[in-house]
Structure 1
Amino acid sequence: MPAKSTAQTLLEKADKKANSSSGWFSSSSTKFEEAGDLYQQAANQFKIEKLFREAGDAHAREAECREKSQEANEAAQAWWNAAKAYKRGYPDLAITALSQTITHLTKQGRFRQAADREKEIGQIYLQELNDLQKACESLERAGEWYIQEDAQATANACFKDAADLHADLEQYPQAIARYEQVANASLSSALTKYSVKEYWLRACLCALAMGDTVTSKRNLTKYSSLDTTFSSTREAKFINIITEAIEAGDVETFTGAVFEYDQVMRLDNWKTSILSKIKKNMQTDDIGIL
């Protein structure tokens, strides 16, 4: 029979302590504090052994002991430690642990940290589980909390990522609303004003992906009134050219304009994808006309 690992021995000691009856001279909160310490030690040993599922489970049991001994800060930290262990291959468990962390943080009014953890959940949904809808919801929730904490730049980054995801999900009106929200927040600062044309470009592309050239043109006019330099930018000129090409059903002009724009500005994956959708819509419409 193989010898028990240090982690396993500590875990058994922790279980024994947590399940023991409190003696005459010790309170149950002392019992759970001590059990929590043992679970934490066991978790750290499991990490050394690279057993991350077991480490996460031990931290989760530590967190439950911290809750029973009314140690709210320590409970929040233990759940977060559990999440970090679970992130090594157990995304669903990581999300559950992070949600528990957030519950503690929001109760304590620590919304900045809650937003950080919510953003982590968004990243797990996006990168590990490929659930764009859930990722979008988490990023928007995080963004709202960042605004509450006056962290406008961090909120903008969350809302911009959420807008990109709305567009990937073909939820174009929601995407446009988020891009405009980020642009409006960025207009007021000299440091962020330069990025506004990028958000407006994306918003217009969303309108065109819906086949709504009227909204695209109306929005171009609106954006130019908010920033008078916008109409002379390469972004605004590009939107004008492709909007006219779409209205004329001129796929050749559209393709040429996209090629030329890419030579100067380099299209990222998001723009390439949405422009492909717009072109496909134009070609489908052409078939319909014929």
Structure 2
Amino acid sequence: MPKSPAQTLLEKADKKANSSGGWFTSSTTKFEEAGDLYQQAANSFKLEKLFKEAGDAFAREAECREKCSENNEAANAWWNAAKAYKRGFPDLAIQALSQTITHLTQGGRFRQAADREKEIAQIYLQETHDLRKACESYVRAGEWYAQEDATATANACYKDAADLHAELEEYPQAIARYEQVADHSLTSALTKYSVKDYWLRAALCALAMTDSVTAKRNMMKYSSKDATFASTREAKFVNALTDAVEAGDVEMFTGAVVEFDQVTKLDNWKTNILLKIKRGIDEEPVLR
């Protein structure tokens, strides 16, 4: 069976990388040429839709670039490897992205490092369903965005991390993150409108801990930060839920949820946490 063009290029690249080099070729030149050949082989594998082989060839290219201290090219090659591995090899994609990030942070390119870290978070979330690792990556990406003054992007990452903390039932951490994002959002007229949603999420987390005292105290704190908050549908909704939780009244709770949902459709996250709170009422002994 004849070799594919990609296979032929790969063998040529291996041969070049492993050659002893002549009197007149420096090892740098040897690895530069091998790197170019690996890149050609990788692109050829991509044409054949052989994504694992393409990723492997890009990774070999990256190693050649590292041997010549071409760090930007190495970062790029690792990223290309990750994009190929994303087609069905999530663990390898994460490893390649981590290598990319090492090069980017060493070169002071934190904004790009944050972009790649966010990609890692999304792979953990969508492919390997590792919520804790996804959460850690969102926080790391958020910190790098924040130090590069990309505040809106940082807040989006922190909000995603908060949602995951809540799904992992790490409610105090979730509340702290929502409040952090809300505080940032208060500072700009463009983002101020979203604050009530962050505070609603934080309050639901407090109720999920069956801690109506904290929920009430936090609601007072939020109203002192923004005088308009107390009159919003979100605030009234939380107050109705808190009353129902304290009364141990499931019907009252369900009524408040249905009423809110008729005007503002509840997303999956809110639906899930409301079910947890409702279960808490069902299980909580009511003091007579």
TM-score, length basis structure 1:
0.98
In structure 2, the residue matched to 1:251 is 250
SS state at 2:284 partner:
helix
In structure 1, the residue matched to 2:156 is 157
- Separation of aligned partners in 1, 2:68 and 2:30: 8
Deviations 1:220-267 (A, max 9, x none): 000000000000000000101110110111111111000100001110
Deviations 1:260-284 (A, max 9, x none): 0000111000000000000001001
In structure 2, the residue matched to 1:37 is 36
Letter of the 2:117 counterpart: E
Task: Using the TM superposition, name which of 277-286 and 177-186 deviates more.
Answer: 277-286
TM superposition outliers: structure 1 runs of 4+ over 6 Å: none
In structure 1, the residue matched to 2:128 is 129
Deviations 1:11-62 (A, max 9, x none): 0000000000121111100000000000000000000000000000000000
Deviations 1:106-142 (A, max 9, x none): 0000000000000000000000000000000000000
Q: CA RMSD in A?
A: 0.9
In structure 2, the residue matched to 1:94 is 93
In structure 2, the residue matched to 1:75 is 74
Pairs within 5 Å for 1:137-216: 137-216=136-215
- Separation of aligned partners in 1, 2:241 and 2:35: 62
Percentage identity across paired residues of the two chains: 78
Structure 1 residue 289, shift from structure 2 partner: 6.0
- Separation of aligned partners in 1, 2:170 and 2:287: 27
Letter of the 1:188 counterpart: T
Pairs within 5 Å for 1:40-119: 40-119=39-118
- Separation of aligned partners in 1, 2:142 and 2:284: 38
Structure 1 residue 7, shift from structure 2 partner: 0.2
Deviations 1:80-106 (A, max 9, x none): 000000000000000000000000000
Gapped runs of 5+ residues in structure 2? Answer: none
Deviations 1:195-228 (A, max 9, x none): 0000000000000000000000000000000000
Aligned length: 288
SS state at 1:109 partner:
coil
In structure 2, the residue matched to 1:229 is 228
SS state at 1:128 partner:
helix
- Separation of aligned partners in 2, 1:78 and 1:272: 42
